[in-house]
């Protein structure tokens, strides 16, 4: 079947919830992707910050193949060896105490919210607690995750959502203070807002929120689904701030393509939150994803993937700043490590499409931002190649 055939069949069979780019990707190698016509693309999206190790990593593939030959699924009624290793590994790199594996980032958010509510219920003996979330945030598309997503466009068609959620302004501590009541059980935020336009938390803001939480026994939930797993130059973005959450969510690069997420918590939270019967998952933490997570973390630690993200991320920021200074329609550059954004007055979707035509995959964030979240194994040469393509597009539309 040719490209047109695949696209026509997909549009006939799949629920139309995505306006997909008009290519059919077939395979990948390193930081390059190839479509069914054999065209090569330099990938600066990594499957939305998922494929941190790039494509066709032999060590990773072999670990998955070996596990396929052993055992794929058992349910959580039994223990399995790979998930035990994965749990120890993710605890080691995060310095958290307990972990629950999910199938996605959205499910990790759901579990984090439930854990926070149960903690407050156990402490206070009653329900009805509130959560403070951030404007311009994005946490997922389920009802619970939408409830704490600070964008009315995503929420409104599905209201009423989960009650007891208030919104504050990101990087505005006074705004957070104004929303706190004696019912507040948790404050949830992305350490670096991704879908909202690539906005890192300021150190003063994150530290200030942590102090508020400590003072009032409010749980701090940090969403590291997109910005975690080495992307900012630290294994988790919050580690660069010196601010540890009570609950953390992670997904995307945790499995580098295998669907897996997790929420982690401190022992203090674990002792007063979820117990048998409170939460569960049939597929979460099965042997296959356990093998993937364990191998991903092994490669990350051995090859110091986050260090490469920091070094190449600084170079990427420098080159993007040069682009910002050259073109009047580029108004800002924001980010940390290898999660970067260019704010532009042109339509980012049209720019992304023109880049795709020239063999560069770059995606958007918010309404006016080009988002750069490449595999964490990219080099400075890859950055230069990307800049050459990007500026050729910018020259055309200037």
150 and 259 co-located in one domain:
yes
Phi then psi for 249, rounded to 5 degrees?
Answer: -110, 145
In this prediction, residue 392 carries a pLDDT of: 98
Distance in angstroms (rounded) separating the CA atoms of residues 207 and 203: 6
Looking at residue 80, the DSSP 8-state letter turns out to be: -
Domain end position, chosen among 266, 284, 303? 303
170 and 276 co-located in one domain:
yes
In this prediction, residue 1 carries a pLDDT of: 84
pTM beyond 0.95: the answer is yes
Distance in angstroms (rounded) separating the CA atoms of residues 107 and 146: 12
136 and 212 co-located in one domain:
yes
Residues 41 and 35 sit within 8 Å (Cβ to Cβ): yes
CA 363 from centroid of its chain's CA atoms: 14
Distance in angstroms (rounded) separating the CA atoms of residues 91 and 392: 44
Helices (H), the chain: 3-13, 46-49, 58-70, 81-94, 105-124, 143-147, 152-155, 173-179, 203-216, 267-271, 287-303, 305-326, 348-357, 380-397
358 and 337 co-located in one domain:
yes
Residues 337 and 192 sit within 8 Å (Cβ to Cβ): no
229 and 132 co-located in one domain:
yes
- List the chain residues with pLDDT less than 70: none
Q: Which long-range contacts (CB under 8 A, 24 or more apart) does 17-23 make?
A: 21/352, 21/353, 21/356, 23/356
In this prediction, residue 347 carries a pLDDT of: 95
Average pLDDT of the chain to the nearest whole number: 97
Which uninterrupted H or E stretch holds 123? helix 105-124
Number of other residues whose CB lies within 10 A of the CB of residue 163: 9
Distance in angstroms (rounded) separating the CA atoms of residues 248 and 346: 35
**pLDDT per residue as tens digits for the range 175-217:** 999 999 999 999 999 999 999 999 999 999 999 999 999 999 9
Distance in angstroms (rounded) separating the CA atoms of residues 134 and 150: 6
Residues 369 and 351 sit within 8 Å (Cβ to Cβ): no
Distance in angstroms (rounded) separating the CA atoms of residues 333 and 323: 9
- Token pair, residue 268, equals 């203090």
100 and 247 co-located in one domain:
yes
In this prediction, residue 100 carries a pLDDT of: 98
Residues sharing a CB contact under 8 Å with residue 214, sequence separation 6 or more, in sequence order: none
* Within-domain flag for 64: no
251 and 107 co-located in one domain:
yes
271 and 371 co-located in one domain:
no
Distance in angstroms (rounded) separating the CA atoms of residues 149 and 222: 13
* Within-domain flag for 124: yes
* Within-domain flag for 65: no
Q: Containing domain of residue 237, as a range?
A: 71-303
- Token pair, residue 223, equals 């969403």
| Residue 346 vs residues 15, 279, 350, 352: alpha-carbon distances, Å | 30, 45, 8, 11
45 and 109 co-located in one domain:
no
| Residue 216 vs residues 79, 152, 206: alpha-carbon distances, Å | 37, 29, 16
Residues sharing a CB contact under 8 Å with residue 157, sequence separation 6 or more, in sequence order: none
Residue 174, preceding peptide bond in cis (omega within 30° of 0) = no
In this prediction, residue 354 carries a pLDDT of: 97
DSSP 3-state of 262: strand
Domain count, the chain: 2
Distance in angstroms (rounded) separating the CA atoms of residues 246 and 229: 18
Distance in angstroms (rounded) separating the CA atoms of residues 193 and 320: 19
In this prediction, residue 271 carries a pLDDT of: 97
119 and 241 co-located in one domain:
yes
Number of other residues whose CB lies within 10 A of the CB of residue 359: 14
Helices (H), 241-304: 267-271, 287-303
CATH of the domain at 330: 3.90.1150.10
* Within-domain flag for 62: no
CATH of the domain at 229: 3.40.640.10
Domain end position, chosen among 303, 334, 352? 303
214 and 268 co-located in one domain:
yes
Distance in angstroms (rounded) separating the CA atoms of residues 253 and 255: 5
**Biggest CA pair distance of the chain:** 63
298 and 310 co-located in one domain:
no
């Amino acid at each position: 079947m040719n490209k047109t055939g695949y696209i026509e069949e997909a549009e006939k069979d799949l629920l139309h919830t995505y306006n997909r780019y008009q290519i059919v990707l077939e395979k990948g190698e390193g930081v390059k992707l190839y479509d069914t016509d054999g065209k090569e693309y330099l990938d600066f999206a990594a499957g939305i910050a998922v494929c941190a190790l790039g494509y066709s990593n032999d060590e990773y593939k072999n670990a998955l193949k070996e596990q396929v030959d052993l055992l794929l699924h058992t349910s959580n009624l039994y223990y399995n060896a790979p998930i035990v290793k994965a749990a120890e590994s993710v605890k080691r790199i995060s310095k958290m105490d307990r972990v629950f594996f999910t199938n996605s980032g959205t499910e990790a958010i759901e579990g984090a919210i439930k854990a926070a509510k149960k903690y407050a219920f156990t402490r206070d003996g009653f329900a009805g607690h509130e959560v403070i979330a951030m404007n311009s945030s994005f946490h997922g598309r389920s009802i619970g995750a939408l409830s704490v997503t600070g964008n009315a466009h995503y929420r409104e068609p599905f209201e009423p959502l989960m009650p007891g959620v208030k919104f504050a302004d990101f990087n505005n501590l006074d705004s957070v203070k104004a929303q706190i009541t004696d019912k507040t059980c948790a404050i949830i935020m992305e350490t670096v807002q991704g879908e909202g336009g690539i906005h890192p938390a300021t150190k003063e803001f994150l530290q200030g929120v942590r102090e508020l939480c400590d003072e009032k026994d409010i749980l701090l939930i940090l969403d590291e689904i997109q910005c975690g797993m080495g992307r900012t130059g630290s294994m988790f973005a919050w580690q660069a701030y010196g601010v540890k959450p009570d609950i953390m969510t992670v997904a995307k690069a945790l499995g580098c393509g295998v669907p897996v997420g997790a929420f982690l918590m401190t022992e203090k939270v674990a002792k007063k939150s979820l117990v048998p019967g409170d939460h569960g998952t049939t597929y979460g933490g099965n042997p296959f994803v356990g093998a993937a997570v364990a191998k991903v973390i092994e490669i990350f630690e051995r090859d110091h993937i986050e260090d490469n993200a920091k070094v190449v991320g600084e170079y990427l920021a420098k080159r993007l700043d040069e682009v910002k200074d050259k073109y009047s329609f580029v108004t800002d550059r924001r980010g940390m490590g290898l999660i970067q954004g260019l704010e532009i007055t042109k339509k980012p979707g049209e720019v992304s499409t023109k880049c795709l035509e020239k063999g560069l995959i770059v995606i958007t964030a918010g309404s006016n931002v080009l988002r750069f979240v490449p595999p964490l194994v990219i080099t400075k040469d890859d950055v230069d190649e990307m800049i050459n393509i990007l500026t050729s597009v910018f020259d055309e539309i200037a």
